[in-house]
A and B are shown apart, each in its own frame.
Chain A
Amino acid sequence: MQVKLSDMKLGETGTIRSVKTENLHDMRILEMGFVQGEKITVTGFAPLGDPMEVRILDYSVSLRKSDSENILIQTGQQA
């Protein structure tokens, strides 16, 4: 199943399908390891549900919903 990273639940794991690459900030997200095929796990949500914290490539990073909406994740079987 393919979902937006922003729609994933706490503790869920998946594989990155695609990332938006429209501006410099998008490029930075990409360069920090959000590339196709990497495994990603949702590890937390801030009090108001945004930003969220994820674990990728063995480190933790937080990002806003406006960014996580643009990241598509493959969940389900493989996870």
Chain B
Amino acid sequence: MNITVALTGNPNAGKTSLFNMLSGSRERVANYPGITVEKKIGHAQWNDNSLSFYDLPGTYSLSAVSAEEMVTSDFLTGRTGVSADVILFVTDSLALSRNLYLLTQVAESGKAVIAVLTKTREARANGKQIDLQKLSGLSGISFIDSAGRPPKVREQIFTAIVNAAKQEKKQSSAPDFYGKEDAAAIAKAQDTLQATGTTMHPAEIFMLLSGEPQTKKEILELWHNHAGLLYPEKGEEVLSALEKIAAQKASQNGYAESVRRRYAWIDSIVEQSVTLDKPNKKTLTSKMDKILMSRILGPVIFFGVFTVLFEAIYTWSTPLMGIIESGIALLQQGASALLSRLPMFHDLVVDGIIGGAGSVLVFLPQIIILFAFIAVLEESGYLSRASYLTDKFVSWSGLSGKSFVPMLSGFACSIPGIMAARTIPNRTARIATILTVPLVSCASRLPVYMLFISAFIQPVYGNAAAALTFLLMNSLGALLTLPVAWIIGKKFLQPSPTPFLLEMPEYRIPTLSSVYDRMAEAGWDFLKRAGTIIFIFSIIIWALSYFPRAQNATAAYQLEQSYLGQAGKFVQPLFSPMNFDWKTTIGIVAAFPARELLVSTLGILYESEATADEFSSLSGKLAAEKSHSPASAMALIVFFALSAQCMATLVTVRQETGSLRYAFALFFYMTALAWLLSWLTYVTLSSAGLG
């Protein structure tokens, strides 16, 4: 039998953790509400049954308030075409009552429901005992505890799923929370909808029927985009059916009353099935929050955490990079000796491939260290606190604390950062976040910073200055996000108040395996990137520097007259105010597909010029050639910190906003801003005598 299982539950309930355990997948898990933003599919085989699991974004209610929550309502009502046979309801025992609220709605969907209780051990540690038997008996839904040895829990859950799928659909045992008259109105509206070929959950319909005018208007706005996406052909028809329902008179009891009834029912169940050891026991989380969220120490710790993070990335990675650098130099020597009889092939391998893609590989340690920190932050539960601490400081820009996580993810890579913006309910704030996350210094910029800092800042001004510059460059983009978001929101979009409502999860000690997974995944992605995009572009760039061949020319002259050299000279005037030479401008042009290509391009350029026996590091070569003054080196770093040099980001912005316009806007404003600030940096530093 083929069984489709949908995992549903509140944000941060542990759906993805359970999904990974059941289907052997490795989707991202983190201690922050709203990590999963699109549905994921996993499979498992149990006896003769193949089970397909769908991990869905978490939600507090099936009456969606954001696009990401719509995904879940769509799936549970079967609007997307796929229909779940069994719903696996994931219940966080730390916030049992609030979780059960959604369960009362899910139970109304008419599907078979099995509930799984997560974090029961933590609940017990907090002095909370849940009686599974009573909970199941009173709610009419069978609950399974997820604690225990994975194979055993899996067996238990799989068996329950198969049994539930085989059973005849039976009437839900949950009481009717709407009242007779309202239930009839809901059923009638459902008929209207089904006539147009769509369907909604009773709770969704009821809110549309009974909401205040503003609520109705907002639901219709949400559907305005959604109907078109869901039903390309009959979107208009569906919308007019919705409008008809919204135009109906207010109901007997109203939505608020239905919410109250649900909670009254839940309170009576929880009272009978949960016992608290010491009702007012202070949990570890509340003790830690006394310090971490205190009004004075909180911000101090916040800045401390992020300063240490970037300092550590710089100082810890330096020795590791040295090791990789010497490895690559050895490789080059070996390849050089081996291929000395085949001049062109020799140059392709030694200069193009090893000099290009190899010079990017050196930066693997930083990427891995950055992700280790991010993993710890994500799993600890500190991210919600950081959002809370920063909310008021960012609210003037039109953003809210909810933009913190997209921004922080942006330090790793803009793409997950942009996707994380789906959890922002307000459209203006969401677009402003999407358009500013790419300013945040992503991991791909690290190679550029490191290269120029170690070539031009560290040798002259020492380690402390180098580390400080590194910290400064990492913060520059992030500091600009707020003013830019403010301008975007105020001048180009319609400003509207941004809500902020965020759950504070319990603190948790990150497991070694979760940190390791994140590091391994990031490291592997980086290697793949170096082995594919960077590798291919390195060869192209090398070829452009190798042809056309000049007769009996010096290496320097050969380069200058190559196609690449011509291109560099062509754009050089644009950058002459910052005193960049043509080799640098080649790098800038070559790096538009992906930033690291600056490093690999310079690697190729300086490698081709080097004589066979000097295999020193690229930063050493740059320093020896004195290609940049400190002022122009800084100007270059600033340019790379802010310009939109990443195709993948632009494509993602197009996807997430649904409009090419935003991708173009992003490209032009970032590149212009980068040029302007780069020039300002140069002018300021030169007049300070660093020219």
Q: Does A66 reach chain B (CB closer than 8 Å)? A: yes
Task: Tell me whether A60 and B393 are in contact in the complex, defined as CB-CB below 8 angstroms, given that A23-B215, A27-B215, A44-B289 are known contacts.
Answer: no
| Contact indicator B500/A53 (Cβ below 8 Å) | no
Partner-contacting stretch, out of B57-65, B156-164, B326-334: B57-65
Give the CA-CA distance A51 to B498 in the complex, in Å.
13
Report B393 CB to chain A, min CB distance, Å: 7
Q: Does B541 reach chain A (CB closer than 8 Å)? A: no
Q: Nearest A residue to B92 by beta-carbon distance?
A: A59
Task: Tell me whether A23 and B218 are in contact in the complex, defined as CB-CB below 8 angstroms, given that A33-B97, A53-B388, A57-B97 are known contacts.
Answer: yes
**Interface size of A as a range:** 35 or more
| Contact indicator A51/B388 (Cβ below 8 Å) | yes
B219 partner, pick from A24, A43, A53, A64, beta carbons under 8 A: A24
Task: Tell me whether A64 and B500 are in contact in the complex, defined as CB-CB below 8 angstroms, given that A27-B255, A45-B295 are known contacts.
Answer: yes
Partner-contacting stretch, out of B78-86, B206-214, B650-658: B206-214
Q: Does B529 reach chain A (CB closer than 8 Å)? A: no
Q: Nearest A residue to B64 by beta-carbon distance?
A: A24
A23 partner, pick from B212, B289, B293, B500, beta carbons under 8 A: B212
A33 partner, pick from B101, B214, B255, B391, beta carbons under 8 A: B101
Q: Nearest A residue to B93 by beta-carbon distance?
A: A58
Q: Nearest B residue to A48 by beta-carbon distance?
A: B392
Task: Tell me whether A25 and B499 are in contact in the complex, defined as CB-CB below 8 angstroms, given that A46-B388, A57-B95, A64-B391 are known contacts.
Answer: yes
Task: Tell me whether A61 and B61 are in contact in the complex, defined as CB-CB below 8 angstroms, given that A47-B389, A51-B391 are known contacts.
Answer: no
Q: Nearest B residue to A32 by beta-carbon distance?
A: B60
1/0 per position for B369-410, CB-CB distance to A under 8 A? 000000000000000100011011101000011000000000
Give the CA-CA distance A23 to B61 in the complex, in Å.
15
Partner-contacting stretch, out of B501-509, B635-643, B676-684: B501-509
| Contact indicator B295/A60 (Cβ below 8 Å) | no
Q: Does A36 reach chain B (CB closer than 8 Å)? A: yes
Report A7 CB to chain B, min CB distance, Å: 18
| Contact indicator B504/A67 (Cβ below 8 Å) | no
Most buried by B among A19, A32, A67: A32
Most buried by B among A24, A26, A46, A57: A24
| Contact indicator B65/A28 (Cβ below 8 Å) | yes
Question: Which residues in B have their C-beta under 8 angstroms from that of A46?
Answer: 293, 295, 298, 388-389, 391-392
Q: Nearest A residue to B289 by beta-carbon distance?
A: A44
| Contact indicator A21/B504 (Cβ below 8 Å) | no
Most buried by B among A19, A33, A46: A46
B218 partner, pick from A24, A33, A47, A62, beta carbons under 8 A: A24
Q: Does B425 reach chain A (CB closer than 8 Å)? A: yes
Within B587-606, the residues touching A (CB, 8 Å) are none
Task: Tell me whether A53 and B504 are in contact in the complex, defined as CB-CB below 8 angstroms, given that A22-B214, A25-B65, A30-B259 are known contacts.
Answer: yes
Q: Does B260 reach chain A (CB closer than 8 Å)? A: yes
Q: Does B299 reach chain A (CB closer than 8 Å)? A: yes
Q: Does A3 reach chain B (CB closer than 8 Å)? A: no
Report B25 CB to chain A, min CB distance, Å: 28
Report B471 CB to chain A, min CB distance, Å: 22
Report B286 CB to chain A, min CB distance, Å: 7
Give the CA-CA distance A63 to B218 in the complex, in Å.
20
Report A8 CB to chain B, min CB distance, Å: 16
Q: How many A-B residue pairs have CB under 8 A?
A: 131
Give the CA-CA distance A29 to B500 in the complex, in Å.
10
Task: Tell me whether A64 and B499 are in contact in the complex, defined as CB-CB below 8 angstroms, given that A24-B218, A25-B425 are known contacts.
Answer: yes
Task: Tell me whether A21 and B255 are in contact in the complex, defined as CB-CB below 8 angstroms, given that A27-B211, A47-B295 are known contacts.
Answer: yes
Q: Does B575 reach chain A (CB closer than 8 Å)? A: no
Question: Which residues in B have their C-beta under 8 angstroms from that of A43?
Answer: 286, 289
| Contact indicator A35/B260 (Cβ below 8 Å) | yes
Within B218-241, the residues touching A (CB, 8 Å) are 218-219, 222
Within A44-79, the residues touching B (CB, 8 Å) are 44-51, 53, 57-64, 66-67
Give the CA-CA distance A50 to B401 in the complex, in Å.
11
| Contact indicator A47/B298 (Cβ below 8 Å) | yes
Question: Which residues in A have their C-beta under 8 angstroms from that of B218?
Answer: 23-24
A57 partner, pick from B65, B98, B425, beta carbons under 8 A: B98
| Contact indicator B215/A24 (Cβ below 8 Å) | yes
Most buried by B among A31, A35, A50, A60: A31
Report A9 CB to chain B, min CB distance, Å: 14
Report A66 CB to chain B, min CB distance, Å: 7
B401 partner, pick from A19, A51, A59, A60, beta carbons under 8 A: A51
Q: Does B179 reach chain A (CB closer than 8 Å)? A: no
Within B602-647, the residues touching A (CB, 8 Å) are none
Give the CA-CA distance A25 to B263 in the complex, in Å.
19
| Contact indicator B263/A33 (Cβ below 8 Å) | yes
Report B278 CB to chain A, min CB distance, Å: 13
Q: Nearest B residue to A44 by beta-carbon distance?
A: B293
Task: Tell me whether A62 and B502 are in contact in the complex, defined as CB-CB below 8 angstroms, given that A28-B61, A51-B401 are known contacts.
Answer: yes
| Contact indicator A28/B212 (Cβ below 8 Å) | no
| Contact indicator A31/B212 (Cβ below 8 Å) | no
Report A55 CB to chain B, min CB distance, Å: 8
Question: Which residues in B have their C-beta under 8 angstroms from that of A62?
Answer: 384, 388, 391, 401, 500-502, 504
B interface residues with partner A (beta carbon < 8 Å): 60-61, 63, 65, 94-98, 101, 128, 207, 211-212, 214-215, 218-219, 222, 255-256, 259-260, 263, 285-286, 289, 293, 295-296, 298-299, 384, 388-389, 391-393, 395, 400-401, 425, 497, 499-504
6 contacts between A and B (CB under 8 A): A21-B212, A23-B218, A31-B259, A47-B296, A51-B392, A60-B285
Q: Ordered nearest first, which 6 A-B pairs have the shortest CB separation? A: A59-B95, A60-B504, A48-B392, A25-B499, A24-B218, A57-B97
A interface residues with partner B (beta carbon < 8 Å): 19, 21-33, 35-38, 43-51, 53, 57-64, 66-67
